[in-house]
Chains A and B, each alone.
Chain A
Amino acid sequence: MKVLVAVKRVIDFNVKIRVKADNTGVETANVKMSMNPFDEIAVEEGVRLREAGTASELVVVSLGVEQCRETIRTALAMGADRGILVHTDAELQPLAVAKLLKAVIGRESPDLVILGKQAIDDDSNQTGQMLAALMGWPQGTFASNIGLGDAGAAEVTREVDGGLETVSLELPAVITTDLRLNEPRYASLPNIMKAKKKTIDTVTPEELDVDVAPRLVTLKVEEPPKRQAGVIVDSIPDLVQRLRNEAKVI
């Protein structure tokens, strides 16, 4: 089967973000960028399917500015076969990304699409569900296990608020990853070298005939109210006394 994975370039999860002084957004200049952590899990899952022989080809797609090519290159170094950059400098919102991915799927005809459940920048948690809707495919969101035993179906264990839920999906399907699906590998140096020779094709939203105009307008971005550090107490009896008499919460 052919597997398609999408990856997003985001501010690295370790960076403490700064809101721009003019409140138009978050400072991204000279900030370390990385692959969205949930997308790394998606790539890893695709690579494992490829290594197990379940997947015959693993295609990785990124959408956005020229530098997304580096994010694709990272996925290729992890083991993906080839890349596609949907190149645009325009702001892409989840619905537009889903439409672009639908157009790419129209060209690639994968049997399974794996995405991260959310990007850690806008925290939207939408694209996979939207893509499944536009394709008329089933969705397995927040996956902690993917079973591809039966031909034509996937059994997906989902992390839900009450615990775990397993659903069976007709293929083709869209699956979004949760944290416990796997632990992504680090690319080895030889694989990083090999990845440089792998192909990355480039297309544009215009070539895919997709309108990516944003539907939501960001009016302002602000810092949340800061929490003040409190006091270090000396002893457990002191803590309990304060919780009872000062904070009155127990």
Chain B
Amino acid sequence: MAVLVIAEHDNATLSSATLNAVTAGAELAELGPVTVLVAGEGCRAAAEAAALVAGVAKVLCADDAVYAHFLAENVAALVVGLAADYSHLVAAATTTGKNVMPRIAALLDVAQVSEISAVVDADTFVRPIYAGNALATVSSNDAIKVITVRGTAFEPAAAGGGNAAIKEIAAAGDAGLSAFVSQELTKSERPELTSAGVIISGGRGMQSGENFALIEEIADKLGAAVGASRAAVDAGFVPNDYQVGQTGKVVAPELYIAVGISGAIQHLAGMKDSKVIVAINKDAEAPIFQVADYGIVADLFKALPELSAELDKEA
């Protein structure tokens, strides 16, 4: 068994989701080493960060302008050229991993196992289907397994303690099919949704984007990330990257506070593995209360300022 984890990074540091993927890779690689591929432009620092991750035996660094924006067409060509040395190709089930991994699988003529939540053995995996309302155990007979990993299901590997060798590898060229134009990334001082310990999310009940200030005030007192339901994103209250759910981000913080969110199955799919769930909703019949550890039936416009004030009091 030899496992290649395709890293997601910003050229300087690895994404937290990659550390979860390394853990899944280590479970797969009981009999062999975990190699991490860092492809980017000016990505040496990220490769050095990968070399320090516990459990990583080797880092491949492909530093070239064609990987600057991790275009799937170019990254897939690189990975396919490396694939013969590995039994498993693994990436985090982020938008980056979801974009590139199926392209690699198809070029290798193998299936992909999407968003696994557990490793049973080297060929067998558990993955959620139907928005997490069922868990399928699937087995792959393909020679190379292409896998994406649900971050919340695997502990992150320790970012330090490793001492892997870094090998520079040649780029595989520009496929010439696509080009990066621009990006608009949401800037925030708050923690990332997928790795935050506390998340407070708003739904349609927030009524407007301005009202999210009530949530942000509490988020800052708790050191929390801010999320949203699909309804709140569709209504334009907050950007798309706030969305928690079946097709948005899957999160499992220590504490998830759902405010003005009714609890559609598509939203529950993204947060029901949270350790403690609090629901604030004026509708006592809202399905969110069926998964909440603590519920408050109240008007959020009264409850949020009161919660904010209460958090200021000494414990």
> B20-28, B33-41, B124-132, B161-169: which one contacts chain A?
B124-132
Asked if A203 is an interface residue, CB under 8 A from chain B, the answer is no
Q: Does the CB pair B103–A17 fall under 8 Å?
A: no
Q: Does the CB pair A231–B294 fall under 8 Å?
A: yes
- In Å, the complex CA distance between A166 and B180 comes to 6
Q: Give min CB distance, A46 to chain B, whole Å.
A: 20
B275: chain A residues at CB < 8 Å are 249
Docked complex: B223-253 residues within 8 A CB-CB of A: 230, 233-234, 239-241, 246-247, 249
Docked complex: B147-186 residues within 8 A CB-CB of A: 175-186
- In Å, the complex CA distance between A222 and B103 comes to 29
Asked if B292 is an interface residue, CB under 8 A from chain A, the answer is yes
- In Å, the complex CA distance between A65 and B185 comes to 42
- Among B73, B95, B133, B307, contact of A139 (Cβ-Cβ < 8 Å): B73
Question: Contacts A215-B111, A216-B111 hold; do A168 and B129 have CB atoms under 8 A apart?
Answer: no
Q: In the complex, which residue of chain A has the Cβ closest to the Cβ of B179?
A: A168
- In Å, the complex CA distance between A132 and B102 comes to 10
Q: Does the CB pair A160–B96 fall under 8 Å?
A: yes
- In Å, the complex CA distance between A72 and B109 comes to 28
Q: Does the CB pair A217–B138 fall under 8 Å?
A: yes
Question: Contacts A17-B133, A161-B95, A229-B289 hold; do A167 and B255 have CB atoms under 8 A apart?
Answer: no
- Among B94, B247, B313, contact of A118 (Cβ-Cβ < 8 Å): B247
Q: Does the CB pair A233–B294 fall under 8 Å?
A: yes
Question: Contacts A17-B133, A239-B296 hold; do A169 and B177 have CB atoms under 8 A apart?
Answer: yes
- In Å, the complex CA distance between A161 and B115 comes to 15
B95: chain A residues at CB < 8 Å are 141-142, 158-161
Q: Does the CB pair A215–B142 fall under 8 Å?
A: yes
B: interface residue count bin: 35 or more
B241: chain A residues at CB < 8 Å are 159-163
Asked if A93 is an interface residue, CB under 8 A from chain B, the answer is yes
Asked if B265 is an interface residue, CB under 8 A from chain A, the answer is yes
Q: Does the CB pair B255–A243 fall under 8 Å?
A: yes
| A-B CB pair tally, cutoff 8 Å | 260
A166: chain B residues at CB < 8 Å are 180-183
- In Å, the complex CA distance between A165 and B182 comes to 6
Asked if A123 is an interface residue, CB under 8 A from chain B, the answer is yes
Q: Does the CB pair A163–B291 fall under 8 Å?
A: no
Q: Does the CB pair B128–A217 fall under 8 Å?
A: no
- Among B109, B137, B233, contact of A219 (Cβ-Cβ < 8 Å): B137
Question: Contacts A167-B178, A221-B129, A229-B292 hold; do A123 and B115 have CB atoms under 8 A apart?
Answer: yes
- In Å, the complex CA distance between A16 and B293 comes to 22
Q: In the complex, which residue of chain B has the Cβ closest to the Cβ of A214?
A: B111
Asked if A197 is an interface residue, CB under 8 A from chain B, the answer is no
B175: chain A residues at CB < 8 Å are 138
Q: A133-B105, A164-B239 are in contact. List 16 more A-B contacts (CB 8 A).
A: A95-B105, A121-B129, A123-B246, A130-B102, A141-B98, A159-B240, A159-B241, A161-B95, A161-B96, A167-B69, A168-B179, A179-B240, A216-B111, A223-B135, A229-B291, A236-B310
